[in-house]
Amino acid sequence: MAAVAWGRCFPRVWLRRRAGPGCGRHYRAALCAELKQPLAIEEVASCPVRPHEVRVDVHFCGVNFADILVCRGQYQEKPQLPFTPGMEFSGTVLETGTDVSTVKEGDRVIGVSGFNGMAEECIIDHKTLWQIPEGVPLREAATLPVSYVTAILALEHRACTRPGETVLVTAAAGATGLAVIDVATNVLQAKVIAAAGSDEKCSLAMRKGAQSIVNYSQGSLKEAVRKLVGSDGVNVVIDAVGGDVFLEALRSLAWEGRIVVVGFAGGTIASVPANLLLLKNVSAMGLYWGRYKEQNFPVFSRILSSALQYCQQGRIQPHIGAVFKLEEVNDAFLHVIQRKSMGKLRQRPQKICYVASEEK
């Protein structure tokens, strides 16, 4: 999936601009002025930074499915119009406020913003910036905050996945699905069954490290998993699809298995049959990425730092499926909506965007 956007809240897109700190000038941004309408690229006046803030020259901005939802008014968070989408970005520091000592001008950083990253620059609280380690490109770094933090939170923090366990991941060719495969296989040494809706997507998941694949557009997910692992089932499920896929994945769990809900790319929210939880002593839990940033920031920060370290060590390798220019943001969104993209999408300077979202 691909899409381009401005500001801080659109699907996985990345942007880049030339440096030039200070006010009294303008920069371009992707603007949502009306819900369910195309984004506009507008010239925006630069604002002064407050003491705790940092101005960042945005090089890449991720395009996530959540960005599309927020521009439709269908997301949990509803920013006031007009706003700029874009939840994650990478870039270089242009200017720091008087109280900021954690970063300095010229530092390479990734940031987690509240829907304002799809722009050539953005201003952000210094607490939600992380320095990018040496050897990690800006492009790859920008893919980490949403999909990889979600993957690590789901696998390690929520499901407590152990080496040798079997993990079933749905929407496996989406940005989060590929991150789950990467982390489960290369960091946690788990075995992965990747489930997706086409042979092409299944093939990508296999290339990224999955041991087995299931195309759930061709039949029952539960029966396909049974053929792979027998009647015992899988230990962990990371589900981003919802609906019938969620229910079949739930029925595929082993004794004391764990299923983590990370999204509803299929558009349907299923009801959980509580008797299934009882019969196998299984656990069903949710993971809302954004709440960790607000409710348990130390865990969020630690996991994002771990993702940066894994990337520096070469233990994870983010997949970038496409790149769009800033002015192509609506094409990028359409790419995501039509389920054409797999993994993260990106663009090269100048004015570049990355795009990625969940693929059913």
Q: Could you report the per-residue pLDDT of 212-232, keeping only the tens digit for each?
A: 999 999 999 999 999 999 999
pLDDT grade for 341, boundaries at 50, 70 and 90:
low
- Long-range residue pairs from 136-141, CB within 8 A, at least 24 positions apart, any chain: 136/308, 136/311, 136/312, 138/59, 138/60, 138/90, 138/91, 138/108, 139/14, 139/59, 139/60, 139/90, 139/320, 139/346, 139/354, 140/311, 140/318, 140/320, 141/60, 141/90, 141/108, 141/110, 141/308, 141/311
Look up the pTM and report it: 0.87
In the chain, % of residues over pLDDT 70: 87
Reported in sequence order, the residue ranges of the chain that DSSP labels E, i.e. its strands, are 26-31, 40-45, 53-61, 88-96, 108-112, 121-125, 129-131, 166-169, 191-196, 212-215, 234-239, 253-261, 283-286, 320-325, 344-345, 352-354
3-class SS of residue 101: coil
Residue-level pLDDT at 266: 87
Give me the mean pLDDT over the 330-352 stretch: 61
In whole numbers, what is the pLDDT of the chain averaged over residues?
88
In the chain, % of residues over pLDDT 90: 76
Q: What is the pLDDT of residues 174-189, one digit of tens each?
A: 999 999 999 999 999 9
Q: What is the pLDDT of residues 48-72, one digit of tens each?
A: 999 999 999 999 998 888 899 999 9
| Distance (Å, whole) CA 155 – CA 340 | 27
Residue-level pLDDT at 344: 52
Q: Counting Cβ atoms within 10 Å, is residue 43 exposed (0-12), middle (13-18) or buried (19+)?
A: exposed
Quick check: 354 pLDDT over 50? Answer: no
pLDDT grade for 2, boundaries at 50, 70 and 90:
very low
Q: What is the pLDDT of residues 91-130, one digit of tens each?
A: 999 999 999 999 999 999 999 987 889 999 999 999 999 9
Residue-level pLDDT at 273: 93
Sole residue written with tokens 């970038």:
320
Q: What is the pLDDT of residues 287-301, one digit of tens each?
A: 998 899 999 999 999
Residue in 58, 188, 89, 146 with CA at minimum distance from that of residue 358: 146
Residue-level pLDDT at 201: 94
Q: What is the pLDDT of residues 252-281, one digit of tens each?
A: 999 999 999 999 888 899 999 999 999 999
Task: Enumerate the β-bridge partners of residue 125.
Answer: 53
Give me the mean pLDDT over the 131-149 stretch: 95
Residue-level pLDDT at 96: 98
Quick check: 19 pLDDT over 50? Answer: no
Residue-level pLDDT at 151: 98
Residue-level pLDDT at 324: 87
The CA dihedral of 192, 185, 209, 252, to the nearest 10 degrees, is 10
Helix, strand, coil shares of the chain, percent, nearest 5, are 30, 25, 40
Task: Enumerate the β-bridge partners of residue 324.
Answer: 353
Quick check: 12 pLDDT over 90? Answer: no
Quick check: 347 pLDDT over 90? Answer: no
